[in-house]
Structure 1
């Protein structure tokens, strides 16, 4: 049974870090809006990586049915070289004992055994070439308020090289520099296309794993520069019409305090408990289109203050 047409709204916070740095801006936050706007952004690729990395760790052997392998990942061969598409695909085929089938029909092998192929699609450039448009597509995530990143410095006690009588400077600790964001809240939307899901073979189990991976994957993937990240709210709307969607769910919510407060030194919120998410407009639109909606579920973080009655849709976080 394939999935229904649907939409996602995912909101997360970050403290003391930048979850998706821009290498073209000295690893500062990504900014695609004008300077006066002040918002920062995360790519959809970074969100998908959170999902994939979580699935890899949750099912390191592909799961009991060997259908939750991950195709797109950083993996090295015996010589320490990064593996390309062909090698990654062949590796999955070898693990599931379908090397012979893969030589004739690699597409079927990957669809049957790779969660991310069924969910996000694939471009396979090795012969025979094929591609599948992923049923799940994420937008970029944008901060819901202006953000001023801070340039900070520090020292590492460990010297960069062994000391010597000739060069005492090498015994000193090294200096590090980095950009960081004290606190920010990001909103991201996504769609699930029922027709594309039928083509890739995405299942209801894949959908539930995706939702779990968005929530727990945000908490799971850790690195010093990414800061402390927490999922705040996840909304999943399913439609009974394969050609209908409300669209732009992120435009139906707002965050307080307002943008001007975030621009004033010393007044910016520094934790989830200092902000409120307003959902009344979104809830009204859901009610307006209830004849097109087959199901709606909302998961929330316990510390998040919400304006709007979500009791009809709220789900316990049991992952």
Structure 2
């Protein structure tokens, strides 16, 4: 295993077009939405689900909170893994799962509770948007006049989201989260978002993913608040190339705290190239990669 995960902050920007990025099960699965500022909302649980699914399905990693056909309790899943792995030490079984090392987890009867190295906040769209309710029908069989079904679609026209995350090196020591684990997680954040292919989730794309790695346990904090959208009427935005973004506050904060920063890792889509160029004059140690 590689070295333990380093103290870091994460900023992830992705957008959602004509889709439901995070349905609220307590509200007929309508998109999560804040009426006060007219912005769409995505929970940390939704993004962690994207990461977990990609780690399991594409990368073949063992995860604890899996997408099993039948709902399992934590103890049932723990026993299943223990039997399969043939390991005697309960903590070793638990931390064999990459999502437990990253996000932490609980197996109450086994007296295991791990605080993960990685935590994400809820994300809001940088732009104002709205929720749209659309109704449609479908039919099955040779005769379309029979077996008709009715459906209701609830989506947002467009949302550009900024999610903030932290990697705590002190918790990494407790959960054994490694730099390899972080690399896998970031890759699955990016690629997993691209691969969302359910009817309600397709239409999302990663644009920029930034990881600020620190030399010690310092953090700037809330990097998502340092990126702004400057369109006068942001509710009218319908595509990423219509967004007018400013990373000025983020770049200034990074420059001011440069002595505390080991490196800044930036992944970006070609559509965000013009924003990435602004980081190159900061004097920071940069690792930049187009994906």
* TM-score (norm: length of structure 1): 0.83
Pick one of 194, 210, 218 that aligns with 1:235. 210
Aligned match of 1:44: 44
CA change 1:183–1:47 in 2 (3 A) is same
In structure 2, distance between residues paired with 1:287 and 1:315? 17
1:51 deviation in Å? 0.4
Alignment of 1:33-182 (within 5 A): 33=34, 35-60=35-60, 68-76=61-69, 81-98=70-87, 101=88, 105-111=89-95, 113-126=96-109, 128-158=110-140, 171-182=146-157
Q: CA RMSD in A?
A: 2.0
For 2:276 and 2:64, locate their aligned partners in 1 and report how far apart those are by CA, in whole Å. 40
Specify the alignment match of 1:287 in structure 2.
255
In terms of Rg, which structure is larger?
A: 1
Q: Cα offset for 1:270?
A: 1.4
1:316 matches 2:268:
no
Deviation, 1:72, is 0.6
Q: What are the superposed Cα offsets for residues 101-120 of structure 1, whole Å, 9 maximum, x if unpaired? A: 0xxx3112221x21011100
| Larger strand fraction of residues | 2
Count of residues in Structure 1 that have an aligned counterpart in Structure 2: 284
Q: What is the CA–CA distance in structure 1 between the aligned matches of 2:238 and 2:276, rounded to whole Å?
A: 19
Whether the aligned pair in 1 keeps the contact of 2:16 and 2:158 (CA below 8 Å) is yes
Which residue does 2:226 correspond to in 1?
252
Aligned to 2:270: 302
Q: Secondary structure at the match of 2:72?
A: coil
8 Å contact kept, 1:151–1:179: yes
CA shift, 1:256, in A, is 3.1
Q: Is the 8 A contact 1:134 1:200 kept in 2?
A: yes
Quote how far apart the aligned CAs of 1:95 are: 3.1
Aligned residue number for residue 63 of structure 1: none
Shift of 1:24: 2.1
Counterpart contact for 1:239–1:293, Cα < 8 Å = yes
**What is the match of residue 29 of structure 1?**
31
Structure 1 outlier segments of 4+, above 6 Å: none
Which secondary structure state, in structure 2, belongs to the residue aligned with residue 207 of structure 1?
A: helix
SS, match of residue 77 in structure 2: helix
CA distance in 1, matches of 2:251, 2:59: 36
Query: Is residue 2:14 matched to residue 1:12?
Result: yes
Please, which runs of 5 or more residues in structure 2 have no aligned partner? none
TM-score relative to the length of structure 2: 0.91
